[in-house]
Structure 1
Amino acid sequence: MTIHRRQFLAAGGAAAAVALGAPAVLGQARARVVVVGGGPGGVTAAKYIAKDARNAIDVVLVEPQRQFTTCFHSNLYLGGYRSFESITHGYDKVSAANGFRMNHQMATRVDREKKEVVLADGSRLGYERLVLSPGIDLKYDSVPGWGREHEEAMPHAWRAGPQTQLLKARLDAVPDGGVVVMIAPPNPYRCPPGPYERVSMMAHVLKASGRTRAKIIVLDPKESFSKQGLFQEGWEKHYPGMVEWIGPKVHDGIKSVDPKTNTVVTGFETYEKVALVNVIPAQMAGAVARDAGLANGSGFCPIDPASMKSANDTSIYILGDACIAGDMPKSGFSANSQAKVAALMVRGELAGARTFPARYANTCWSLIETDDTVKVGGRYEAKDGKITAVETFISKTGETAELRKQTQEENMGWYAGITADMFT
């Protein structure tokens, strides 16, 4: 399955379907949709609801930041393959071109009874439908000894932006012979292959700068991880002796970290005076969704797989990393795909547009070394009470260099396509 920029945009239009809703009647107040969160899910939903509703719906996107840095391809920035500017995008063009309004504030609370979103300045936005795409919050108590106040000493960089730049600066300062320790997150979390692509990019930077005596140790709470065979094949091929993955049966758990001394203590070994500790903690849905009573005991939000509606409130849709999406992974591509389904359903409810059965898609690409990229993905439908995979694919070990190079070209084309889809 190969995706290029033009094909991605065409597929996006097909996924969004054709809006056949009538324009608003003269003098009649338009229904309002409030979208919270300006990432792949939120900005896509705002665009496709407003663009295809023929002015029948008033759409407001609530997002405190004026620019968005994509988590996807942030590892390529870390590895020196992309500039920081190339993964950072603004909202002015997409909002003006598609007819929705921006409100650059934090949404602090959802009043479900009154159908209002409470903003940081105390003002309220009423809604007929609410789309929540708040992303993740980090569980700061999930790694003993590490908390919010230790993000500078032991960066997570699991929200793209200043943390990503900090992690790159710390990586660039690792001496030859220094040790990097990554504490990987437990399931479920944003971007399943992401930590291991990050390891690959760290190793690439160290090797390319001649620091081949440096070592990266991955302490993982999981028995296995996404694309494990592909990554480990790539590490052995490109970075022999530089990467060591240690599972929970060996390390026996993270007992504590000390950000002052850069020490990591496990049940198996103590790592002292580590050059760089990258802590990726456990995760949960963004607070605005949890505080509204939309999450279950997992910390994430159950949804209706046929529409992306909250299982707890039929006037609210929940997208992306915050939702429980069955077989779909938490990724930017998934959020973009889910947003198009939600936009279609919202237009059907508020503008009389035709609706179609939900169809979802996702692909995750991972760069291991220059022109050596692998992928995993699938197509999904609402089935058996969840979003269910109906077709899956994954790169194979031992693929030719030419095929891996083509996969990387596909990866770059997809990024150009999805960001154009989101921000224009």
Structure 2
Amino acid sequence: MSQNISRRDFNKLLVSGVAGSALGLFGMARPAFAAQNRIVVIGGGFGGASAAKYLKKLDPSMSVTLVEPKAIFYTCPFSNWVLGGMKTMEDIGQTYTILKNKYGVNVIADTATGIDTVKSTVTLKSGKVLNYDRLIVSPGIDFKWNAIEGYSESVSNSSMPHAYQAGPQTVRLQKQLLAMKDGGTVLICPPGNPFRCPPGPYERASLIAHYLKEKKPKSKIIILDAKDKFSKQGLFKKGWERLYPGMIEWRSGATGGKITGVNASSMSVMTEFGTEKGDVINIIPPQQAGKIAFDAGLTDASGWCPINPITFESIIQPGIHVIGDAAIAGAMPKSGFAASSQGKVVAASIIRLCQGKVPAPPSLVNTCYSLLGPGYGVSVAGVYKLTSAGIVEIPGSGGLTPMDADDDHLNEEAMFARGWYNNIVQDIWG
């Protein structure tokens, strides 16, 4: 791909679904035949489902088993649209029927509870044991429940939902917003880096503000941030001033934003600068790789999984590939699109490895759209390559929505966001 392609044309490529091939994500022709190989994939999100589907698309002779406990996978992308009243939970629910019936992926509705790296087996909650030749682990995130005093999994399931794993938590937070009185205060408390979907908390604030502006205009949102800057900060703050003047207040970690504890009974949070009370409190706690990654010894001291950037194979446990949010993937953010891109790279790499060939260095891509209102979108995109320093972003390969974007451009970005979502879920689960 030419690096001087216009940003709008780059986004159109991403939305149209041809960016993967244009950027050389696969770099290989479909093999005419291949030996039978047992590939087990743990986790049916953006990364795992992509890997499972593309393994079968690239080589139908592969034996691919996908382990995922949820019959319906609710995507974190667009879950903020649910909170803003612009989508329903049904709109963001994806199933595995097509992967199973059309592509021949063996989908098992169960939870992986253990990995034996010596015997190359995966044990499921049901007691079933799966043998593998190569294992892909795409476990997503887990939360550091002891990081914020007073905030536990129990509190998140009752009074202060995180809603950062879409599903029941999303519904819980939505119900709280619906029940809140006009004139109420919503506290949103994002964590420090790294965490899933860096722009996510700020899109959430935007779309909750959209709902409040229409239904409860006397209300306000306070973002108590552990960080001193955030993804697309200038674009978000400009949009907030334009769309929701006086409704959204952002406090950086240095100016009292970092929370040190919560009190669920009084619906309050503690910061270095004092206590803040909220009618609805959305705590997004610090994060780490999903539990199975810890149990299998795939994580390092950071709580995430170091990998070989060519194949995404664990540098701790050979034969296991880690993709998605759990992986330490250099400059790539922890996003759904990045996970899908990695899943396709891993599928191609595993096929080459099973054929006794050397995997090609990957080209990887990410794009992230954020909606601030129904006709107001912004985005960030990038292309990544492998260097001696690991996975780095190619300078000038994507970039941000311009700060001086006009109304037509912002509306176009909002349209692209819808197209992006429809395309990616079709590509993965359709």
After TM superposition, is the score higher than 0.5?
A: yes
Check whether the contact 1:358–1:381 (CA below 8 A) recurs between aligned residues.
Answer: yes
Alignment match, 1:120: 125
1:199 and 2:205 aligned? yes
Alignment match, 1:418: 424
Give the C-alpha shift of residue 54 in structure 1.
3.1
Query: Which structure 2 residues correspond to residues 214-363 of structure 1 after superposition, within 5 A?
Result: 214-251=219-256, 253-272=258-277, 274-351=278-355, 355-363=359-367
Check whether the contact 2:297–2:317 (CA below 8 A) recurs between aligned residues.
Answer: no
Amino acid aligned to 2:212: L
Alignment match, 2:20: 11
Alignment match, 2:404: 398
CA–CA distance in structure 1, aligned partners of residues 74 and 314 of structure 2: 27
Amino acid aligned to 1:202: I
SS in 1 for 2:386: strand
1:99-152 per-residue CA deviation (whole Å, 9 max, x = no partner) reads 110111100011111111111122211111000000000111111111011012
Check whether the contact 1:19–1:347 (CA below 8 A) recurs between aligned residues.
Answer: no
Alignment match, 1:70: 75
Alignment match, 1:42: 48
Alignment match, 2:388: 384
Correspondent of 1:181 among 174, 178, 187: 187
Structure 2 residue ranges without an equivalent (≥5): 1-9
Give the C-alpha shift of residue 230 in structure 1.
0.6
CA–CA distance in structure 1, aligned partners of residues 360 and 115 of structure 2: 29
Alignment match, 2:161: 155
| 260-269 or 2-11, which deviates more | 2-11
CA–CA distance in structure 1, aligned partners of residues 309 and 424 of structure 2: 23
Question: CA, structure 1 residues 21+204, in 2 after alignment: closer, same or farther (shift >3 Å)?
Answer: same
Check whether the contact 2:184–2:219 (CA below 8 A) recurs between aligned residues.
Answer: yes
1:109 and 2:114 aligned? yes
SS in 2 for 1:245: strand
Structure 1 residue ranges without an equivalent (≥5): none
Question: CA, structure 1 residues 51+353, in 2 after alignment: closer, same or farther (shift >3 Å)?
Answer: farther
SS in 1 for 2:102: helix
Give the C-alpha shift of residue 251 in structure 1.
0.9
Give the C-alpha shift of residue 51 in structure 1.
1.9
TM-score after normalising by structure 2: 0.93
1:370 and 2:374 aligned? yes
Check whether the contact 1:71–1:160 (CA below 8 A) recurs between aligned residues.
Answer: yes
SS in 1 for 2:11: coil
SS in 1 for 2:236: helix
Give the C-alpha shift of residue 399 in structure 1.
1.1
Check whether the contact 1:203–1:243 (CA below 8 A) recurs between aligned residues.
Answer: yes
Alignment match, 2:415: 409
Aligned-residue RMSD, C-alpha = 1.7
CA–CA distance in structure 1, aligned partners of residues 19 and 384 of structure 2: 18
Correspondent of 2:143 among 138, 141, 164: 138
Q: Percent identity?
A: 40
Amino acid aligned to 2:286: A
Question: CA, structure 1 residues 259+32, in 2 after alignment: closer, same or farther (shift >3 Å)?
Answer: same
